[in-house]
Amino acid sequence: MAEAHQAVGFRPSLTSDAGEVELSAPMLQEIYLSGLRSWKRHLSRFWNDFLTGVFPASPLSWLFLFSAIQLAWFLQLDPSLGLMEKIKELLPDWGGQHHRLRGVLAAALFASCLWGALIFTLHVALRLLLSYHGWLLQPHGATSSRTKTWLALVHIFSGRHPMLFSYQRSLPRQPVPSVQDTVRKYLESVRPVLSDEDFDWTAALAREFLRLQASLLQWYLQLKSWWASNYVSDWWEEFVYLRSRNSLMVNSNYYMMAARAGNAVHALLLYRHRLNRQEILPTLLMGMRPLCSAQYEKIFNTTRIPGVHKDHIRHLRDSRHVAVFHRGRFFRVGTHTQSGLLSPRALEQQFQRILDDPSPACPHEEHLAALTAAPRDMWAQVRRSLKTQAQEALEAVEGAAFFVSLDSEPAGLTREDPAASLDAYAHALLAGRGHDRWFDKSFSLIVFSNGKLGLSVEHSWADCPISGHMWEFTLATECFQLGYAADGHCKGHPDLSLPQPQRLHWDLPDKIHLSISLALRGAKTLSGNIDCHVFPFSHFGKSFIKRWHLSSDSFIQMALQLAYFRDRGQFCLTYESTMTRLFLEGRTETVRSCTREACNFVRAMEDKEKTDPQCLALFRLAVDKHQALLKAAMSGQGVDRHLFALYIVSQFLHLQSPFLDQVHSEQWQLATSQIPVQQIHLFDAHSYPDYVSSGGGFGPADDHGYGVSYIFMGDDVITFHISSKKSSTRTDSHRLGQHIEDALLDVAALFQEGQRLKRRGLGEDDSGHSRDSLPCHTRGSRAPTTATNF
């Protein structure tokens, strides 16, 4: 997602030309603080940690064990082999009348010790089982007997009815890869995009790094991995996100689309209620392998607070209101009464009161939120004055559960101009008008005047699958559970006893008026420079790809390589984000999709002398290579996060490394990400296509690059979101979109031609069209224009 831009742009304020390459006290202190932060997170949720800490056991299992010991003692059996007698001797002697009480206490202490030992054994066994990644490295669609045995053991040790955080204590820690392997993989990844001279120079820097510096930096990373929960994630959050001084708008936010409004706020608050009670089930791969749930903690009640040198994330345990923005005015809307959460109809009533409020915005209030889109140093300084002059209003916004923007303009797909309307919809969600989003909030719900809605999500606190999970629940609940009355209103009755929404008043000092004007000018410039293009590809989808026993993600990635080459006439470093949540507090890793195998396939597709079978064979090799890289990244053996952590250590030690500087200076001209659909059971894409989220997008990572995201909508549609900068003469989002459509049809034609030749070889009649046939298309031709239903 937007992390690619942040990964390129971060500049740690730790560099110095001097310093001793020894055991660094600041480095050791940073490792100590990383571990301390990990332990504080665990202690902040004591009761939930207790319930999840004993999982897969439960508090009732202790009672069962204690009762069994008491029964055995009553039958004159000693399951403790004399240990309970030893415990009784250590207890105070309260006299003969309390002899039985001492026996009960001894049995309780023995039961507790035995129970704790059993839980510890289960945790160790489950952690060892979850450390096995052989299942991930197997060929696509294959399951060995070893993996089947592993799945059976995981099922036995995983327990029943897990809560959201039940598996956290059993997740393995992310391993630190071998530095030799990481450097080797890095050199392999840059070979296709470097000239022979540049590659030889880079390889020489790599050899010097391995010989002089790698072992020391690696030692510190190993030390951190033993002490902290994750050797890279906290640094990734701090240096890539919180220390970035760039505007959050476009650079560190992404958006998600949907088709309806109304009950959305109530559905979001229902999700928060379930989250607080840990009633959300943990995400399981293959229905068995749990992923880390740590990022869910900061979805709600969270704000990124600007600082002069570094931001920090402020998370409240609870918040009973949302902040609402409409026509330049801010409101505080309570979400609860003494009897509980407001009904959907009551919330609709409160929002309607805001829409009907005729009061105008105060001077400069309308554009105040543009400050959250300003460079972070500037916003931090202005916020100090704002906190003094308008503390109550600022606290109401920053302390809200989330931010709601009631836009005065319509958005979404229109029949008159479907292509342009989708592009405008995406742009409105990503950037808006520059002053109608509070970009510091963890997410903002944007409701347009025609009822369409979407999310704008700040990236530092979590990654896309977390907010995506919440969004899927929200859409399904809003559409299929809450519903609407026949007159279009939310179901239920208004509550006229509710107080009016509280209008927030800002006492803005004169000295920040200029800052607001400058921030607004910068936000409008940044917003106006973004070129967004959204298009649904409906010629085929996931079902067609899976028919050929291929990974749908790898299929798209290879098509993107072909499309980019046709667009720019060259290859580039490609950033594909994948998750590392198989590990405790894991976040993301980069898959470098532009491989030598991918380049060979693209060159063959552009070579008219290459036959379709030759291209098809090269395509399968490229897909296999991509799958190998993807699985290695997911299993903690990627390249970029390890090199990033090594770079951070080198900065703490004031140790200059030309190789790591070279890695850090790389530009990602093609940043890509798949939007996962995680709760397929919530939607019937065939019966209710209008209720399925059409995904989301993010800004480009480079001024002359593209940001591309895609989502598989059901089995037959793939929606692409493309962004670039209008200021670049090298990029055009619509042009790349056409290349992507052509590339997908070209690749699909290879498989259909292969199938036709196979049928001909078997003597079958191939004159008819199969149910998976595509529009008539030959390699390198332009796709026919067809109407799509979106």
Transcribe 38-107 into DSSP letters: HHHHHHTTHHHHHHHHSTTS-HHHHHHHHHHHHHHHHTT--TTTTHHHHHHHHS----GGGHHHHHHHHH
Beta strand 574-579 with 588-592 is antiparallel
Q: What is the pLDDT of residue 141?
A: 64
Q: Which three-class secondary structure state does DSSP give residue 444?
A: strand
Q: Where are the beta strands (DSSP E) in 587-636?
A: 588-592
Answer yes or no: are the C-beta atoms of 447 and 406 closer than 8 Å. yes
Q: Which of 206, 440, 196, 199 is nearest to 306 (CA)?
A: 440
DSSP 492-548: S---TTSPPPEEP-----GGGHHHHHHHHHHHHHHHHTEEEEEEEE-S--HHHHHHT
Answer yes or no: are the C-beta atoms of 179 and 642 closer than 8 Å. yes
Q: Which three-class secondary structure state does DSSP give residue 576?
A: strand
Instruction: Check if 155 is active-site.
Output: no
Q: What is the pLDDT of residue 770?
A: 43
Return the amino acid letter for 141: G
Q: What is the pLDDT of residue 768?
A: 45
Alpha helices, DSSP H, located in 131-213 = 145-157, 179-190, 196-212
Token pair for 538: 């409906």
Q: What is the pLDDT of residue 19?
A: 38
Q: Which of 326, 459, 539, 626 is catalytic?
A: 459
Q: What is the pLDDT of residue 259?
A: 58
Token pair for 645: 């952590």
Token pair for 162: 């897990």
Q: Residue 525 and residue 541: Cα distance in Å, rounded? A: 37
Answer yes or no: are the C-beta atoms of 366 and 435 closer than 8 Å. yes
pLDDT along the chain (790 residues), means of 10: 62 48 64 72 57 61 79 76 75 65 78 82 88 81 82 82 83 95 97 96 97 95 93 93 89 77 84 89 87 94 95 94 96 91 91 93 92 95 91 96 94 83 93 93 94 92 93 87 82 88 91 93 94 94 92 96 97 96 95 97 94 94 96 95 96 94 94 88 65 84 95 90 96 97 95 77 51 52 36
Beta strand 289-290 with 284-285 is antiparallel
pLDDT in tens, 48-68: 556 555 556 666 777 778 788
Q: Residue 562 and residue 744: Cα distance in Å, rounded? A: 9
Q: What is the pLDDT of residue 104?
A: 79
Return the amino acid letter for 403: F
Q: Which of 547, 552, 548, 511 is nearest to 711 (CA)?
A: 552
Q: Residue 475 and residue 270: Cα distance in Å, rounded? A: 12
> pTM of this prediction?
0.88
Rounded to 10 degrees, the C-alpha dihedral 665/666/669/670 comes to -130
| Cα dihedral 41, 217, 638, 725 sign | positive
Q: Which of 616, 612, 564 is nearest to 742 (CA)?
A: 564
Q: Where are the beta strands (DSSP E) in 627-783?
A: 670-674, 696-698, 706-713, 717-725
Q: Which of 451, 506, 748 is nearest to 615 (CA)?
A: 748
Answer yes or no: are the C-beta atoms of 551 and 271 closer than 8 Å. no
In which element (H, E) is residue 647 found?
A: helix 640-652
Q: What is the pLDDT of residue 714?
A: 83
Q: Residue 162 and residue 126: Cα distance in Å, rounded? A: 14
Q: What is the pLDDT of residue 440?
A: 96
Q: What domains, with CATH codes, occur in the chain?
A: 239-280+302-530 (3.30.559.70), 538-635+667-763 (3.30.559.10)
Rounded to 10 degrees, the C-alpha dihedral 240/242/247/251 comes to 40
Report how far apart, in Å, the C-alpha atoms of 216 and of each of 209, 211, 508, 653, 657 are: 11, 10, 52, 10, 12
Count of C-beta atoms within a 10 Å radius of residue 523: 28
Count of C-beta atoms within a 10 Å radius of residue 327: 16
Task: At 604, give phi and psi (nearest 5°).
Answer: -65, -40
What are the residues whose beta carbons fall under 8 Å from the beta carbon of 251, sequence distance 6 or more?
2, 5, 6, 9, 244, 699
Q: Residue 392 and residue 376: Cα distance in Å, rounded? A: 22
